């Protein structure tokens, strides 16, 4: 049973019906790359002011149309915390986007000078952590990742704040398709995704909401039309749904930069398996930046037209097919008189 703080925090992330319709703008390297490409410069030449200007436009144009937003502390908060509507939930990312690459796998760490305590202190409704994970990585690497996730879960429990865990499979250093950024691998193995979910759904990690990638590459998903291929694909999503249902953990899908129509197909399979929404970024806003930056007026116009068009389609699909989340508060059967609750909580 979740605590009062975790229940109320998750409620802030969802809409009034319990659907998670969330927009991610904590991305750092993907946004750096988009700005660099739009300006015809290298990633290293992207200025801090360019990143904050772009993030401010994303919040200004998209925040009124989602249930919550995912911010990072170094760019999004200084850029646009003043624009976040009071009813829009605030998820704060904790992980550093620069990871340690080793031959045996990838190690995550927290942003310098940033913590669960600070997220709670600034009024964050939830803590989000991205953990790069492969069950077949080096044992020492996976022990590091498990400890990283578990210790943050303990901090979230201590501060009574929901823990949103994002899991991503990645290519090993030196492999043909290696990249430090998240680019969905067309040949990824569903078992790696499913086994990762099975591991981190264990109670010892304290996860309250899972942000997951599709177990199958979005570009190769068939239409959900009852065909043999569609039924086979559905089994992979159902495996995730079964794990999350058993552990009473709601789950949402990340877009991974998939084309909007491809991501809608991912959601169609995921919602049939019990997913409760999305936490998507690039699918919604990347084109507006790529095609128009640094013309801020043009970026804003594109977000209002095309970006919102994508977001509204995702919202409609989620409302129609997503599994709503409902808080299950503790029952205080042993509270008999004034002072008992304050003493016990």
| pLDDT tens string 235-264 | 999 999 999 999 999 999 999 999 999 999
The DSSP output letter for 205 is G
Four-CA torsion 327, 60, 254, 199, nearest 10 degrees: -50
**Helices marked H in 75-227 — which ranges?**
76-80, 116-121, 139-158, 190-200
Report the pLDDT value the prediction gives residue 184, as an integer from 0 to 100: 64
Report the pLDDT value the prediction gives residue 171, as an integer from 0 to 100: 86
Whether the Cβ atoms of residue 36 and residue 42 lie closer than 8 Å to each other: yes
Whether the Cβ atoms of residue 287 and residue 306 lie closer than 8 Å to each other: yes
- Between the CA of residue 218 and those of 215, 226, 329, what are the distances in Å? 9, 18, 36
Report the pLDDT value the prediction gives residue 9, as an integer from 0 to 100: 98
Whether the Cβ atoms of residue 6 and residue 158 lie closer than 8 Å to each other: no
Whether the Cβ atoms of residue 76 and residue 25 lie closer than 8 Å to each other: yes
| Helix axes of 190-200 and 228-247: crossing angle, nearest 10 degrees | 10
Nearest to 280 by CA among 267, 294, 291, 268: 267
pTM score, two decimals? 0.95
Task: Give the list of residues 6+ apart from residue 197 with CB closer than 8 angstroms, or none.
Answer: 167, 210, 212, 240, 243, 244, 251
Report the pLDDT value the prediction gives residue 330, as an integer from 0 to 100: 86
Helix (H) or strand (E) holding 89: strand 89-93
Helix (H) or strand (E) holding 21: strand 20-24
Whether the Cβ atoms of residue 152 and residue 163 lie closer than 8 Å to each other: yes
Whether the Cβ atoms of residue 85 and residue 63 lie closer than 8 Å to each other: yes
Residues of the chain with pLDDT under 50: none
* Torsion region of 325: left, alpha or beta (phi above 0 gives left; psi -120 to 50 gives alpha): beta
- Between the CA of residue 43 and those of 60, 97, 112, 280, what are the distances in Å? 25, 14, 21, 23
How far, in whole angstroms, is CA 114 from its chain's centroid? 18
Report the pLDDT value the prediction gives residue 60, as an integer from 0 to 100: 98
Three-state SS for 131? strand
Please tell me whether the peptide bond between 294 and the residue prior to it is cis, using omega within 30 degrees of 0: yes
What mean pLDDT is reported for the chain? 95
Instruction: Specify burial of residue 1 (Cβ count, 10 A radius: 0-12, 13-18, 19+).
Output: exposed
Instruction: Specify burial of residue 241 (Cβ count, 10 A radius: 0-12, 13-18, 19+).
Output: buried
CA distance 248 to 150: 18
What residue segments make up the domains of the chain, in order of their start?
2-342
Q: Which residues pair with 22 in a beta bridge?
A: 68, 279
The dotted CATH code for 2-342 is 3.20.20.70
């Amino acid at each position: 049973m979740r605590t009062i703080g975790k229940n109320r925090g998750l409620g802030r992330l969802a809409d009034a019906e319990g659907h998670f319709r969330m927009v991610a703008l904590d991305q750092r390297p993907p946004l750096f790359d988009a700005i660099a490409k739009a300006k015809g410069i290298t990633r290293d030449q992207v200025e801090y002011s360019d990143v904050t200007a772009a993030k401010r436009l994303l919040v200004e144009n998209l925040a009124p149309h989602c249930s919550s937003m995912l911010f990072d502390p170094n760019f999004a908060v200084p850029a646009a915390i003043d624009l976040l509507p009071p009813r829009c939930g605030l998820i704060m990312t904790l992980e550093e986007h620069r990871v340690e690459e080793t031959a045996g796998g990838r190690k995550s760490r927290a942003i310098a000078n940033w913590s669960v305590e600070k997220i709670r202190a600034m009024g964050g409704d939830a803590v989000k952590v991205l953990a790069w994970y492969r069950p077949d990585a080096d044992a020492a690497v996976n022990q590091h990742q498990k400890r990283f996730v578990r210790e943050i879960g303990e901090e979230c429990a201590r501060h009574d704040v929901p823990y949103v865990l994002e899991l991503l499979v990645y290519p090993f250093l030196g492999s043909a398709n290696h990249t430090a950024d998240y680019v969905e691998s067309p040949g990824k193995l569903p078992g790696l995704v499913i086994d990762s979910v099975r591991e981190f759904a264990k109670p010892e990690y304290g996860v309250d909401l899972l942000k997951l990638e599709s177990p199958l590459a979005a570009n190769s998903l068939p239409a959900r039309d009852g065909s043999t291929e569609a039924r086979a694909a559905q089994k992979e999503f159902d495996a995730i749904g079964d794990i999350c249902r058993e552990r009473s953990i709601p789950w949402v899908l990340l877009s991974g930069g998939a084309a909007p129509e491809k991501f809608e197909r991912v959601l169609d399979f995921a919602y049939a398996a019990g997913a409760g929404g999305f936490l998507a970024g690039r699918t919604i806003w990347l084109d507006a930046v790529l095609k128009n930056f640094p013309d801020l007026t043009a970026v804003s116009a594109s977000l209002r037209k095309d970006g919102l068009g994508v977001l509204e389609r995702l919202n409609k699909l989620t409302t129609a097919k997503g599994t709503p989340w409902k808080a299950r508060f503790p029952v205080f059967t042993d509270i008999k008189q004034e002072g008992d609750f304050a003493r016990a909580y």
